[in-house]
């Protein structure tokens, strides 16, 4: 057994304001698949690595409250702007979760001794983390998911139809109005809503609809699939996005190595709505991790 927990204990520092970033981070770029990906790293090179992947319409800044807590607890962090998000802009009209997982694999090969890693994903970041885990289970020590459905659990015909219809409906709505509605639906606190409104507007209509078209193709039902890695599933009490709450409950029942926590006074972006509580849950989970070597 290899202990992937750090030797230092969790810190209790003050959370940073959203959008300020973290001065301890180093910015990088990496060219892959016609896009220059932007990513940020921090922490000691020998520390366990936590890789953070944001949700649709957001960018790496959505994890501003998490980075100081993870660093104080002795972890190394890597967060990135997924293709079409933030600084990782692209002229292509294509987005697929599988491609994003490939992008992440290529990016991680540039890191010193990254394996095994802890994957942390919010919303579609959770889909990317799941896809990466399916393709490269040997790379992953554990999975932390915030407000995301399982991409492999069976879905009803109605759920699949609603997902397919979502794209043409989104195309009909003026983008500023769409950005406001998405922010209000995803976040519970005024600060988190303001953060998401700015991120959605920064992303722009074309990029968002390109990404959402890829999201509608995400589900790959596999009733026999199980995840045999430790998992922390975090869901906001007021997460009303799609079927996230119900799916995470089913996911927890399916995988015996999973732990589901429901956060009060939080929505789909629980890490922004309730950052202190989320940080403590993540650090507690990581501190207890032990995983098989290789």
pLDDT in tens, 205-217: 999 999 999 999 8
pLDDT of residue 6 exceeding 50, the answer is no
Whole-model pTM: value is: 0.90
CA 121 to CA 144: how far, in whole Å?
Answer: 6
Share of the chain above pLDDT 90, in %: 77
pLDDT of residue 248 exceeding 90, the answer is yes
CA 52 to CA 186: how far, in whole Å?
Answer: 18
Mean pLDDT within 140-164: 92
Which is more confidently placed, 100 or 18? 100
Largest CA distance in the chain: 54
Summarised one tens digit per residue, pLDDT across range 25-50 is: 999 999 987 789 999 999 998 999 99
Category of 78 on φ-ψ map: left (φ > 0), alpha (ψ -120 to 50) or beta: beta
Summarised one tens digit per residue, pLDDT across range 267-286 is: 999 999 999 999 999 999 99
Question: Do the beta carbons of residue 145 and residue 133 sit within 8 Å?
Answer: no
Residue-level pLDDT at 35: 84
Average per-residue pLDDT for the chain: 89
Summarised one tens digit per residue, pLDDT across range 55-96 is: 999 999 999 999 999 999 999 999 999 999 999 988 788 999
């Amino acid at each position: 057994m290899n202990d992937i927990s750090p030797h230092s204990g969790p810190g209790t520092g003050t959370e940073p304001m959203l959008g300020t970033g973290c001065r301890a981070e180093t910015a990088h770029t990496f060219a892959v698949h016609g896009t220059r990906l932007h990513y940020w790293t921090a922490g000691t090179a020998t520390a366990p690595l936590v890789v953070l992947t944001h949700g649709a319409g957001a960018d790496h800044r959505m994890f501003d409250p998490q980075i100081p807590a993870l660093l104080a607890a002795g972890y190394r962090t890597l967060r990135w702007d997924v293709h079409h998000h933030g600084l990782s802009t692209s002229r292509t009209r294509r987005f697929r979760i599988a491609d994003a997982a490939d992008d992440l694999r290529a990016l991680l090969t540039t890191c010193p001794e990254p394996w095994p890693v802890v994957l942390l994903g919010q919303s579609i970041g959770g889909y990317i983390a799941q896809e990466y885990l399916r393709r490269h289970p040997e790379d992953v020590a554990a999975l932390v998911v915030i407000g995301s459905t399982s991409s492999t659990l069976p879905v009803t015909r109605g759920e699949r139809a609603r997902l397919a219809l979502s794209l043409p409906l989104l195309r009909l709505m003026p983008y500023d109005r769409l950005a406001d509605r998405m922010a209000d639906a995803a976040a519970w606190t005024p600060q988190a809503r303001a953060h998401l409104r700015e991120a959605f507007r920064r992303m722009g209509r074309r990029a968002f609809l390109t990404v959402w078209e890829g999201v509608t193709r995400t589900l790959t039902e596999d009733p026999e699939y199980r995840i045999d890695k430790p998992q922390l599933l975090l869901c906001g009490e007021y997460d009303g996005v799609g079927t996230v709450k119900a799916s995470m409950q089913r996911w927890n029942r399916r995988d015996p190595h999973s732990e589901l926590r429901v956060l009060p006074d939080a929505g789909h972006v629980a890490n922004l709505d309730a950052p202190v509580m989320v940080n403590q849950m993540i650090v507690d989970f990581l501190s207890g991790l032990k995983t098989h070597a290789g």
